[in-house]
Amino acid sequence: MNLNGRRESSNVSDRRSGGGGGGKKIGAGIGAVIIAAIIAWISGGNPLDVLISNAGSFTSGSSQVSQNYTPTEEEEELARFSRQILAGTEDVWTKIFARMGKEYEAPTLVLYTDAVRSACGDASASVGPFYCSADEKLYIDLSFFRDMRKTLGADGDFAYAYVIAHEVGHHVQHLLGILDEAHSQMNRVSETEANNISVRIELQADFLAGVWAYHDNEMFSSIEDGDLEEALDASMKIGDDYLQKRARGYSVPDSFTHGTSAQRSRWLKKGLSTGDLSQGDTFSIPYSSL
């Protein structure tokens, strides 16, 4: 991506720590990282269910920054990159919301290491990136990008940008009332039906990530050769079918909560190619047509 001269967002809360006072880290090892990748995308903008399962595994000081912590050069580059991508989402969504006669309220990006406390509960790095609508913050342990590269083979700055833009997409859904309504519906139906609704939520967030990229490129000429391939490759490697087969050798469609690799790639590509918010309704079409 071409980010030369791009501003960095100030809507960032840096809670990174060196680990000494940062709570218990969960998810060391390749097997755990694969599971973490699955859990990260199963949380689907409403990580509470995942976080509850980790209750009690964190220290009370999990969100405190260690004064002795010194980030690596690579981590600082990722932090700067994340601030620039967040700024890009602010610029794009502010413009799109203004066209709709609405005001965009930017979320806060929380950078953390090992563990963090959110309004949705305590979370470890094994949860992966998530959005909490209760405090309108997205949470990222930057080591997730390293794990994407080493474990899933999903690499590249545009692939990383897609992760951030997807979580911001959940924030957009929240501001538009879509997320809360979908979660309300999930509480009234069977587990299988709730999973289907979750898939619709996630595919729309993928679409919104694509819409962001379309407009960001129009505004800043940010997309370079190979970028689209990076994002589409990442979307393929975080599909429920791909991750489940990699983790246990088979997939269970009724348990899908994010969509298949083909679905995720298709909706991301649709947003990237059209930039048209009106084409992202994943809720009114038949589930089999997603």
The answer to whether 264 touches 238, Cβ cutoff 8 Å, is yes
Q: Average pLDDT over the chain, rounded to whole?
A: 83
Q: Which long-range contacts (CB under 8 A, 24 or more apart) does 227-232 make?
A: 227/1, 227/156, 227/157, 227/158, 228/158, 228/272, 230/154, 230/155, 230/156, 230/157, 230/158, 230/159, 231/156, 231/158, 231/159, 231/161, 231/162, 231/268, 231/272, 232/265, 232/268, 232/269
Query: pTM score, two decimals?
Result: 0.83
Would the pLDDT of 38 be above 50?
Answer: no
Per the structure, how many domains does the chain have?
Answer: 1
> Would you state the pLDDT for residue 67?
52
Domain of 240, in residue numbers: 12-289
Would the pLDDT of 126 be above 50?
Answer: yes
Note whether residue 3 is domain-resident. Answer: no
Would the pLDDT of 195 be above 70?
Answer: yes
- Which residues are registered as beta bridge partners of 281? none
| Region of poorest pLDDT, from 40-44, 93-97, 171-175, 255-259 | 40-44
Note whether residue 1 is domain-resident. Answer: no
pLDDT band at 105 (very low <50, low <70, confident <90, very high): very high
The tens digit of pLDDT for each residue in 1-23 reads 999 999 999 999 999 974 323 33
Note whether residue 124 is domain-resident. Answer: yes
The tens digit of pLDDT for each residue in 215-246 reads 999 999 999 999 888 888 888 888 888 788 88
> Would you state the pLDDT for residue 224?
94
Average pLDDT over residues 169-183: 97
Note whether residue 121 is domain-resident. Answer: yes
Note whether residue 76 is domain-resident. Answer: yes
Note whether residue 5 is domain-resident. Answer: no
Average pLDDT over residues 185-205: 95
Give the Cα separation of 86 and 91 in Å (integer).
Answer: 9
Would the pLDDT of 198 be above 80?
Answer: yes
Note whether residue 6 is domain-resident. Answer: no
Give the Cα separation of 75 and 225 in Å (integer).
Answer: 25
Note whether residue 154 is domain-resident. Answer: yes
> Would you state the pLDDT for residue 23?
33
Most confident of 8-12, 41-45, 65-69: 8-12
CB atoms within 10 A of CB 287: 11
> Would you state the pLDDT for residue 280?
97
- Phi, psi values for residue 132, rounded to 5°: -115, 110
pLDDT band at 171 (very low <50, low <70, confident <90, very high): very high
